[in-house]
Amino acid sequence: MTNLVQNLEQCWYISPPWSQQIPPLLVSLLERVYVKSAKAFGYCTGVEWSERGWKYEIFACNTNITVLGGELIGTGNLQPNTKEKPVFRLGELVEFRFHGDGPPIRIVQGIQLINDAWFYSVEWMSPSISEKGNEVFTSKDSIARVTDYDLERVRL
């Protein structure tokens, strides 16, 4: 007999939260953008999936601004002197080295440049089910930001 809870948990980690097809990004990582609400130009230094769609992290006016796509106007220009590109891409299946008791395979749900290093958002904690089984609880802290050292490419 198979362990249904373990199978469900494994499916949870590799099921894209955006449904089947990954929605296109409005702007590219490191693209120069205009943030309407801040009335300022900056560079896209990160993107992460949220319940409302892609959230963009913009470095403008010496601070980070987090906005949804409707607040941005892309210029098509990439930041000069761009360092290394991210090792993994959005939606890619990866093996999380520090997965604890759960299954190791995860899906990359975000990428962010912090202090000239790329970090990747993966879900590290599966949801909880109520004792009656009629509610599913997820935590806002279920996403971990990890480096490429913490992840390995899944070979299919």
**Burial class, 69, CB count within 10 angstroms (exposed 0-12 / middle 13-18 / buried 19+):** middle
Rg of the chain over Cα atoms, rounded to whole angstroms, equals 17
4-21+84-153 folds as SH3 type barrels. (2.30.30)
Q: Write out pLDDT tens, residues 40-62.
A: 999 999 999 998 999 999 999 99
DSSP 141: G
Average pLDDT, the chain: 86
Cα 26 → chain centroid:
15
How much is the pLDDT for 98? Answer: 79
How much is the pLDDT for 142? Answer: 79
> Is 41:125 a contact under the CB 8 Å cutoff?
no
Q: Write out pLDDT tens, residues 52-89.
A: 999 999 999 999 999 999 999 999 998 877 678 899 99
Q: Write out pLDDT tens, residues 98-108.
A: 766 777 899 99
At 20, is the secondary structure helix, strand, or coil?
coil
Q: Write out pLDDT tens, residues 107-117.
A: 999 999 998 89
Q: Write out pLDDT tens, residues 143-156.
A: 889 999 999 998 76
Of 33, 14, 127, nearest to 74 (Cα)?
33
At residue 2, does pLDDT exceed 90? no
